[in-house]
Structure 1
Amino acid sequence: MTAALHDDFPPSGEWTTDDLDRLPVDGRRHELLDGTLLMSRSPTRLHQSIALLLGAALQESCPADLDVTQAVEVRLSRTRSFTPDVLVTELDAAARNPSHYRPHEVLLVVEIVSEGSRSVDRILKPALYAEADIPYFWRIETENGIVVHAHKLDPMKRVYVERARMTDGILLPEPWEMDIPLSRLTPRGR
């Protein structure tokens, strides 16, 4: 950690969201998995550019009662907390300027797969977001161009079902009607 942390870090038991609140800002992403602290380095320029461009494109078309933002924590429980790359929330929840959201306030989470997060973004996070009843999950792959995998929650099985795999554009009827060419998500110089 850093010299700014006191003797109570790491905690003697499992990490909680209260512990996350006390961590210093250090440029890393801090997430919790069943009381274990996960840290990842800062995302790459490609990753951040796609998140920025996607957020702007979603904001243009989203209904007035929703809000689009980037990298705000979603607390699934006291010992599970993730920070999606892009998320769509209820506007009422966003209006309180939160440092984190509860799952019931979130409509869509988007994870952009990076080299160091493949298993977490492809397997772990979708399973736990589904368990938390977040209605929509998108995974964006960047290895061979931009590919968007759009999933919708099956509320009975609490798993995501892939609804579309898009390589040209995001053309979906839900969570709201959208038509976003993937060229809008492609950073300059790519």
Structure 2
Amino acid sequence: MTAALSEIHPPPGGWTTDDLDALPEDGYRRELIDGVLILSPSPTDIHQIIAGRLMVTLEEGCPDDLQVAQGVEVRVSKRRSFIPDVLVTTDAAAQRRTSKYEPHEVVLAVEIVSDGSQTMDRITKPALYAQAGIPYYWRIETENGIVVHTHKIDSADEIYQPTGQFTDVVKIDEPWPISLPVSRITPRHYRAG
């Protein structure tokens, strides 16, 4: 299929993950919310630098039974699919060498907020990640300096509870003991705002 994006129309009944698999690779990040296709342009360089540095920094202290990845799809259902900026999965899931994980295989999902993703990363994705049972969620804000917000699921209510807001050092005990200087994930020539 080589149709231009403007020529792609939703299938009757909405999009499914099977439809996603049939679309061409064109540099767009595709996610599904209840059969609605969400397209995002390629991330900015600042976004990618933060994601790359976070992935490397988390990997350095990650326990052997977990694996850190970047930009890999999480298929919640046939009509819901997300691509966290950084995620931590079980090592057993990572050994499958897949491009798609199931929610029960994901331990931590991380989103880096950009101008076009504020509502998705602050409201929509945390609600749906919690509903899917992903135990931990981090949101990284970049507008007024790098701020890392950490959350843990309250499984009874299927919502995330805040566990910290960090501008200097992310210091938490779960999903493993982490002491991460925010300067390690901050791009060299980063300017807030």
Q: TM-score band, normalised by the shorter chain?
A: over 0.9
Partner of 1:122: 122
Give the drift of 1:9.
5.1
Give the superposed CA RMSD.
Answer: 1.6
> Does the 8 Å contact 1:15/1:79 carry over to 2?
yes
Q: Show CA shifts across 1:105-133 (max 9, x none).
A: 00000000010000010000000000001
Separation (CA, whole Å) in 2 of partners of 1:3 and 1:120: 27
Name the CA distance, whole Å, in 1 between partners of 2:57 and 2:97: 21
Deviates more, 1:10-19 or 1:25-34: 10-19
Name stretches of at least 5 consecutive residues in structure 2 with no aligned partner.
Answer: none
Match of 1:14 in 2: 14
Q: Is the 8 A contact 1:73 1:99 kept in 2?
A: yes
* Aligned counterpart, 1:51: 51
Q: Distance in 2 between matches of 1:9 and 1:152?
A: 38
Distance 1:8 1:62 in 2: 41
Asked if 1:159 is matched to 2:159, the reply is: yes
1:187 corresponds in structure 2 to: 187
Shift of 1:4: 6.8
SS in 1 for 2:67: strand
Deviates more, 1:121-130 or 1:10-19: 10-19
Q: Once the two structures are superposed, what CA deviation does each residue of 1:141-185 show, in whole Å capped at 9, x if it has no partner? A: 000110000000001111000000001011111110011101100
Identify the residue that residue 144 of structure 1 maps to in structure 2: 144
Q: CA deviation at 1:13?
A: 2.1
Which whole-Å CA distance do the structure 2 matches of 1:8 and 1:98 have between them? 26
1:33 aligned partner:
33
Local SS of the residue matching 1:21: helix
Task: Verify: 1:71 aligned to 2:71, yes or no.
Answer: yes
Secondary structure of 1:108's aligned partner: strand
- SS class of match (2:43): coil
**Alpha carbons of 1:4 and 1:144: their partners in 2 closer, same or farther (altered >3 Å)?**
closer
Distance in 1, matches of 2:41 and 2:137, equals: 23
AA matched with 1:113? V
- Partners of 1:188 and 1:23 lie apart in 2 by 36
Cα separation, 1, equivalents of 2:122 and 2:83: 15
Q: Distance in 2 between matches of 1:130 and 1:118?
A: 18
DSSP-derived class of the 1:12 partner: coil
| SS of match in other structure, 1:122 | helix
| Structure 1 SS opposite 2:97 | coil
Length-normalised TM-score, structure 2:
0.94
Secondary structure of the 1:53 match is helix
| Partner in structure 2 of residue 175 of structure 1 | 175
% of aligned pairs identical?
60
Structure 2 SS opposite 1:59: helix
Q: How many residues align?
A: 189
Task: Give the whole-Å Cα distance in 2 for the aligned partners of 1:30 and 1:66.
Answer: 26
